[in-house]
Amino acid sequence: MRQIIEGSHAVAEAVRLSRPQVIAAYPITPQTHIVERLAEMVADGELNGEYITVESEFSALSACLGASAAGSRVYSATTSQGLALMFEVCFNVAGMRLPILMTIANRSLSAPLSIWNDQQDSISLRDSGWLQFYAEDNQEAMDLHFIAYRVMEDHRILLPAFVCFDGFILTHTYEPVDVPTQDEIDTYLPAFTPYQKLDAQNPLSFGMYATPEYYMEFRYMIDQAMQRSKDVIGKAGREFGEQFGRDYSSLVEEYRMEDAETAVVAMGSVCGTIKDSIDEMRKKGKRVGLLKIRTYRPFPIEEVKKSLQSASTVAVMDKNISLGSRGAVGLEVKDALFGSDISIYDYIVGLGGRDIRKKDVAAIVDLAEKGEGNLFYGLHEEVL
């Protein structure tokens, strides 16, 4: 059923339909509306699950870790400083191969304090072993939760996942969203069957001490599961499309790339603005396209190569910065295209929630085509 619904509430609906058995979260702007709505659902009997009230984000993910190890389908949500407080537990969860789903309402990290959107928070945990999905709009944000549960609970994967969508830009925006029925989701997403769990009758240990002779093998196995997840994501996304008419079989999405000479690469809600800007540039005769990265971890190297092989210029728009280097997406794209003749430029944009307008996208395309790149775009002149 199509509803006009706030992004945070669309995510809460997706979580309810996924039937988590345990939810543990701590409220933090701009994530609060998600867990507030889930708490209401549990209290009103709309969601048959345990909602654990905790004193911090560290406690929230720790509670999720224990619940997942005990064999429950688990959910949490956070953002920014809350995710930073979970840092230690994020690595524990991935290392123990616990399929926990967590929504990230992307927000800048302090200091200085900012409650506005960029993607620095989730990108800062790119090496933690969590799958990372990025949504362009609230429909995609809802759908990716169902797909993420399917993928991470697959016994060939058993990794946790972030579903990321932009704080305020999406979390607090009302958009039309097709909300599936419970029967439809029950058909697509089967009940969770843990590969192994804590059981007093069959004792197991999780997260034990590893000597140097064995530690590296554990990291290798996580990496192999991450690589295997590409095919599992593709299958889950294709089957979702067959059932619901929205195809997520690829880890990327192309827009007007069929004859593009210049390609813009980005992820998240800015892709909607980029599409509108591309339409305007096309009317002026510029052959520009967009490659949207939907899955940052695992990174879709082969898809990026294939999509960009005919372009002469690539402009990456990164809403993050690996300080002292470049944006995280820009680094990945340059690695994927290493050895090609394509000119690749990385632009740091939108940090701390700064607006990215259609005219900014057009200006970045002009800079890339002139060979002027690898810079913070739109800085105040007095700092230059």
Distance CA 368, CA 316 (A): 9
Reduced to 3 states (helix: H, G, I; strand: E, B; else coil), residue 257 is: coil
pLDDT digits (tens, 9 = 90+) for 126-181: 999 999 999 999 999 999 999 999 999 999 999 999 999 999 999 999 999 999 99
Residue 222 and residue 265 share a domain: no
List, in order, residues 6 or more apart from 155 with CB less than 8 Å away: 195
* pLDDT of amino acid 327: 97
Residue 97 phi, psi (nearest 5) = 60, 50
* Lowest-pLDDT range of 76-85, 196-205, 244-253, 262-271: 196-205
| Residue 334's CATH number | 3.40.50.920
Mean pLDDT over 282-307 rounds to 98
pLDDT digits (tens, 9 = 90+) for 328-373: 999 999 999 999 999 999 999 999 999 999 999 999 999 999 999 8
| The total number of structural domains that make up the chain | 2
Residue 165 and residue 135 share a domain: yes
Residue 167 and residue 97 share a domain: yes
Whether pLDDT at 71 is above 80: yes
* pLDDT of amino acid 384: 78
pLDDT digits (tens, 9 = 90+) for 240-260: 999 999 999 999 999 999 999
Average pLDDT, the chain: 97
Confidence class for position 44, pLDDT limits 50, 70, 90: very high
Mean pLDDT over 199-214 rounds to 93
Which of 378, 11, 46 has its CA nearest to residue 164?
Answer: 11
Confidence class for position 374, pLDDT limits 50, 70, 90: confident
Are 149 and 18 spatial neighbours (Cβ–Cβ below 8 Å)? yes
Q: Which of 244, 269, 300 is the last residue of a domain?
A: 244
Whether pLDDT at 18 is above 90: yes
Q: What is the DSSP string of 182-244?
A: HHHHHHHSPPP--SS---TTS----S----HHHHHHHHHHHHHHHHHHHHHHHHHHHHHHHHH
* pLDDT of amino acid 349: 98
Q: What single DSSP character describes residue 340?
A: S
Mean pLDDT over 97-106 rounds to 98
Mean pLDDT over 10-37 rounds to 98
Residue 274 and residue 212 share a domain: no
Residue 274 and residue 219 share a domain: no
Q: Which of 199, 216, 244 is the last residue of a domain?
A: 244
Residue 206 and residue 101 share a domain: yes
Residue 215 and residue 334 share a domain: no
Mean pLDDT over 313-337 rounds to 97
Reported in sequence order, the residue ranges of the chain that DSSP labels E, i.e. its strands, are 2-6, 22-25, 50-53, 74-78, 101-106, 131-134, 161-166, 174-178, 252-255, 262-266, 288-293, 295-297, 313-318, 343-348, 375-376
* pLDDT of amino acid 23: 98
Residue 88 and residue 170 share a domain: yes
Q: pTM score > 0.95 for this model?
A: yes
Which percentage of the chain shows pLDDT scores above 90? Answer: 97
Whether pLDDT at 381 is above 90: no
Residue 185 and residue 150 share a domain: yes
Domain of 106, in residue numbers: 2-244
Q: Which of 190, 223, 244 is the last residue of a domain?
A: 244
Residue 15 and residue 134 share a domain: yes
Mean pLDDT over 54-79 rounds to 98
| Residue 233's CATH number | 3.40.50.970
Residue 359 and residue 231 share a domain: no
* pLDDT of amino acid 228: 98
Residue 80 and residue 29 share a domain: yes
